[in-house]
Structure 1
Amino acid sequence: MKVLIVDDERHVRHAIRMLVHWEAYGVTEVIEAESGDQAIEVITAFSPPVVLTDMRMPGRDGVALMEWIQANSPATRVVVVSGYDDFELVRQAIRRGGMDYILKPVDPVEINEALSKATQAWRTAEQDRNRQTMQAMEVNRMRPHYADKLLTELISGTALSITPLREELRLPTAIQICNAAVMSTTQLDADILDKYKTRRALLGFSLINICNEFLGTSQTGIAFRHLERTDEIILLYWAEPARWPVLLQEIHTGIRTALRCYMHIGVGSFGTFPMGAATAYQEARQALWKRDMLQATDWIHESSPARQTVRLPQLSEMEEELRLSALSCNASRVSTAVGDWVAAVAVLPSVTAEQLAGWNQELDWMLARWLNDRPGDAEGEELTDESNSIPALPVDNRGVLSLPLWTKQIENRLLAAGQALTPSHSPNNPTIRDIARYLDAHYDKDISLQDIASRFYLSREYISRKFKQEYGVNLSDYLCQIRMSKAKLLLLNDKLRLHHIAGMVGYQDEKYFGKVFKKLEGVTPGEFRRRHSANPQPLSHITHDLPTHH
């Protein structure tokens, strides 16, 4: 810490240097100035937290200096050291933020007490400034999440009131009708998904920005991400129906130009705002997932009558053959087994995106059952699949089913399952550490074990067991500790409501958030806020220590 002594008399500056126990107050450097003008130059260059200043000096005097400090360096603490026992000077010093007024000749006890009080006041204020800065950074980072939460509630039909959404997004008051469209990043081709493999959030952010360039410019709608179905981008539209197809065409072209990918879009029907938003969303989502994956004639999809049903092949009918091929860990045997399955699908007259996702989910369940049935494995999964996220579909650059790509995906999954059934026991697993880093960066999202398994191409059981071996805590406990640490930081800002904070740290249900918080911290979020608002502490005393990863 630096301290500046301002006095036009050199012997006074020297006396103060000799009388103060600088090290006791954490002062590492003492700077001198002989005038108010020189002091301003020093403060501008070095920002000393504490200034000891005389009042009567040639040129800019102590009063003028304190006025400048009050306007340009308000965090600086000022102690006046003056030879004038003048009530008016004392009053001026107090009005301009002076912490103490000490008379010359300087008394050693008084000057040390004054400096102790000034340095402590600066440190306390600095801690508060740092805490507020971190709160502001966290709130700014989370603000888009809150808007997405309100919009997700609207199209899910769970919004209790439209007022918070109107206030947050400043929606036009004259909205009468609305419609919705749905896009899914899981229906994009492998090239674009590989490009954004480690930056999937950036892909969603880019798509939303492109859509909002068209919707926002015309003030006819808004694009946002669905918080429960993280693969989905939703377009909410509230203007003239005749303009809607034109906007969708512009958005589709904009995405192709900017990202060089072919985006299929499901579209609902118009209804009364706000109640019609949920119906339009369900129609749009159904249209997108009922589309024929074997056809590339259209990119926009609307609800249509159900197609004639045919008997679909069941993955379970080939389970034993697939399991034995996986256990063999032999690529050729796996390829033969998968080829038989894909051949049964290839002869179908049509394949919907929903059917394809269903087969992939059936494969997930099958692999999980193999792992859970393994002898000697007593540990189950710690993190349940609460989200409706869907793994990426095997499509080409026009969104059409690619049988060769699907074949390769299933082969890789079976080979990975075979490895998980006979795992190695090497310590310091780098993939598990990557998973921990992912949780650190995405704690505010609805993370499911399936999301992590799909992202890191490992079985859910394997991740659960290896994570606990690596860090000594369950994966879900690790994630919960991160969320509680962030929640405690946000609770220090009394302007944030509890349900906002819950959403900012990954909990959609405020009551469940409160239950988890009390279980871990011993008090409710509200009680924690009251305690720390009345007696603020440094952040290091508030946040938990988490297991480290290198």
Structure 2
Amino acid sequence: MIRTLIVDDEKMPREMIKRYGSWDEYGMEIVGEADDGLEALRLIEARSPQLVITDMRMPGADGLELLGILNERYPETKVIVVSGYDDFTYLKQAIRCKAKDYILKPIDPKELNAALLKCKNELESSRVIYREQFTLQIDFLQIAKGYKPALASYYNRLDVSGIRDTFQELLRQLGNAEAEQARMQDRIYQEFIVLLRELMIANSQTVEGFRFEIDEAALQSYERLLSDVTKLYLLAMNQLEEHRKYRRKLNLPEIKHYVEANFCKPITLEQIASAFFVSKEYLSRAFKNEFRQNLSDYILQLRMEKSKALLLEGKLPIKAIAESCGYEELAYFYRVFKKHYGIAPGEMRKER
């Protein structure tokens, strides 16, 4: 089945696309819907759609940004643009980013299905020619992506040894994969550079002026690539350490932003205090004085709100929800959730 993602900030166009498309006939399945570009990127990362149907004008990250990122990071993904604007600027960007079609609203079923059929034929043709190589590429990317949570955790804690060891372990795995025909250096580089940008932004670092590029020669081998990427991470971490260590006073809005960006990971008060070079007692007291709430309670609040939202969506198993909200032990998550809401997670899902 061809995995398809629909992106539009309005529900009605999404429903029309679902209703008009010949999904079963073309061997396609809708694996998700998003109402803005940021949510679309999260779903693309999680579900790897082969086809994205997107609107252009949306709040947050719009279709223009999404097209650019898809073209840069997921060039094999087919894109159909559905827009209510007959705008040459949008059309030009769609062409530049290799969109397969540009359909104007209101949606014509024949036009939509002609575009779907075109994407189906191209994907099947590519699948026949590159099936073996594509599988190897996905394997390599999945290996690399599996290290991202650990890297994020070590970065936020300023753990230099953890960063070095993680990249070394990744190098060992890639070297043992014995699939030299699947050279994925550029894609792997993009994965880790995007992660580094996200980590810097989440830690209130300035990305403008930071040199993310590496020498072209570094893309010829995994050893050189990961060595250069490690250096970029360590340079960014050094800047972060200077930023945290030598400022005159504790920046509490920055710490709140840090927590909001990282509460889905198993962070603790001790780890946050250590990362910002203060004692946990001082951090806890300062946070409560500023925001009238204990830091631990704030982390709990964020996790409970997210877990409740995911439960009511009804798409993920409860174990996956617990892990995605920073709880490694399912039994502990059950106890915390029931204490907070007065009802077990499974019971809340049944009552929705």
TM-score by length of 2: 0.38
Q: Which has the higher helix share?
A: 2
Structure with bigger gyration radius: 1
TM-score by length of 1: 0.24
